Amino acid sequence: MTDVRIRAAAPDDLDTVLAFWKAAAEGASISDDRDGVERLVARDPQALILAEDGGELVGTVIAGFDGWRCHLYRLAVHPQRRRLGIGSALLVAAEERFVRLGGRRGDAMVLQRNETGQHAWRAAGYTPEEQWRRWVKPLGT
């Protein structure tokens, strides 16, 4: 890995993050918009973790902790910067955050079709729990 800096996102980073996700992240969520990410950073300023190299955004992860469970979202690394340890560095930062907050287990949602993502999560020591199925309902629509 090159000279990558890991830090929490600031409100000024949000447009860059959203553009980055369009290029580097798999899939989309109803809250992947300026309003949704702005609320995330306002509510939990340390949750959105960025990786930068020379001032360029090269990776992200959201490390959300609700006081009970540790949830990982939007682990994304620039396609030309994958397999250089950036994703691993982001996960280490997220896991360290969880431990500081008292978390005991991290979980991640990974699309079934995202084989690259599944490989990355397995390499980081995560295992799928096939007995679980995610249930969702859009709110306020």
Residue 59 lies in a domain: yes
Q: 27 falls in which pLDDT band (50, 70, 90)?
A: low
Nearest CA to 66 out of 92, 98, 36 is that of 98
**Range with the poorest average pLDDT among 23-32, 62-71, 83-92, 123-132:** 23-32
Computed over every residue of the chain, the mean pLDDT equals: 90
pLDDT computed for residue 51 by the predictor: 98
Residue bearing the bigger pLDDT, 138 or 72: 72
Mean pLDDT of 30-34: 76
Task: Provide the residue range defining the domain that includes 41.
Answer: 4-123
Residue 116 lies in a domain: yes
Q: 30 falls in which pLDDT band (50, 70, 90)?
A: low
| Domain CATH for 119 | 3.40.630.30
Residue 94 lies in a domain: yes
Does residue 87 have a pLDDT over 90? yes
DSSP 3-state percent helix, strand, coil across the chain (nearest 5):
35, 25, 40
pLDDT computed for residue 55 by the predictor: 92
Residue 72 lies in a domain: yes
What are the CA-CA distances from residue 9 to residues 13, 47, 58, 82 (Å)? Answer: 6, 8, 13, 21
- Tally of domains in the chain: 1
Residue bearing the bigger pLDDT, 110 or 76: 76
Mean pLDDT of 71-85: 93
Residue 83 lies in a domain: yes
Residue 67 lies in a domain: yes
pTM value is: 0.91
Residue 56 lies in a domain: yes
> Do the beta carbons of residue 28 and residue 113 sit within 8 Å?
no
Residue 65 lies in a domain: yes
pLDDT computed for residue 96 by the predictor: 97
Percent of the chain past pLDDT 70, that is, above it, reads 94
- Residue for token digits 């008292």? 102
